Chains A and B, each alone.
Chain A
């Protein structure tokens, strides 16, 4: 049972444009959501997070939006840069469960020149 889903395995965006990565979840108990970026041969790197009490969190070029009613979150990268090319994982957890993260399968973002 895939509780966190990233339905787009890949995405290609031109440099300077907006990248939108999507994530859906099924477990309504999730109350904390994170995005990780992963380069080849490296571990995932924390990017940005959002608590379920918010619907938006912004950090520089990265903004995460949370729609609890739709059980959907998205990561916006504006403007996209070639260095953003990586695999992006959505993850979720909920308090009271020792905070283990449930990951999606990832979306490979390619930012082209």
Chain B
């Protein structure tokens, strides 16, 4: 158990809909990262928050947004969903924003039908 909790584990929704994925980081970790893993692909970095502030952005679509709340949990919002958004979405957390290992949650498998 990495200490990072993601909910829900599975999500099936229709095209055009909007979903929210939730992540609770490890106790004490200030940084939260979101990654997307499509079929047979590596993990693609989406966005990072550090202590409530956006710190870095990857190839995140404009239809996607995220935030980190005062209690440090984070939410990833995906809207106007398309079939190609079907993927595993991982949240990770680390103690600080500098180079260090990040600890991953079990992921949310999103299926868009």
- Asked whether, in the complex, the Cβ of A43 is within 8 Å of the Cβ of B104, the reply is yes
Nearest chain B residue, comparing its CB with the CB of A90: B42
- Assess whether A112 is interfacial by the CB under 8 Å rule: no
Q: How many A residues touch the partner, as a band?
A: 20 to 34
Which A residues are within 8 Å of any B CB, using their own CB?
4, 6, 31-32, 34, 36, 41-46, 49, 51, 89, 91, 93-95, 97-106
Contact residue among B45, B56, B105 (Cβ-Cβ distance under 8 Å from A43): B105
Nearest chain B residue, comparing its CB with the CB of A96: B98
> How many pairs of residues, A versus B, come closer than 8 Å at their CB atoms?
73
- Central interface residue in A4, A100, A104, by most chain B CB within 10 Å: A100
A-side contacts of B41, CB under 8 Å:
105
Nearest chain B residue, comparing its CB with the CB of A97: B56
Contact residue among A43, A49, A89 (Cβ-Cβ distance under 8 Å from B101): A49
Nearest chain B residue, comparing its CB with the CB of A32: B99
19 additional contacts (CB under 8 A) given A42-B107, A99-B98, A100-B56: A36-B104, A43-B2, A43-B4, A43-B107, A44-B43, A46-B103, A98-B48, A99-B48, A99-B94, A99-B97, A99-B99, A100-B33, A101-B45, A101-B92, A102-B45, A103-B35, A103-B44, A105-B41, A105-B42
Nearest chain A residue, comparing its CB with the CB of B102: A101
- Asked whether, in the complex, the Cβ of B104 is within 8 Å of the Cβ of A93, the reply is no
Q: Mark B85-113, 1 if CB is under 8 A from A, else 0.
A: 00000101010011111111111000000
A-side contacts of B33, CB under 8 Å:
100-101
- Using known A-B contacts A100-B45, A100-B58, A106-B42, determine if residue A46 contacts B101 with beta carbons closer than 8 Å: yes
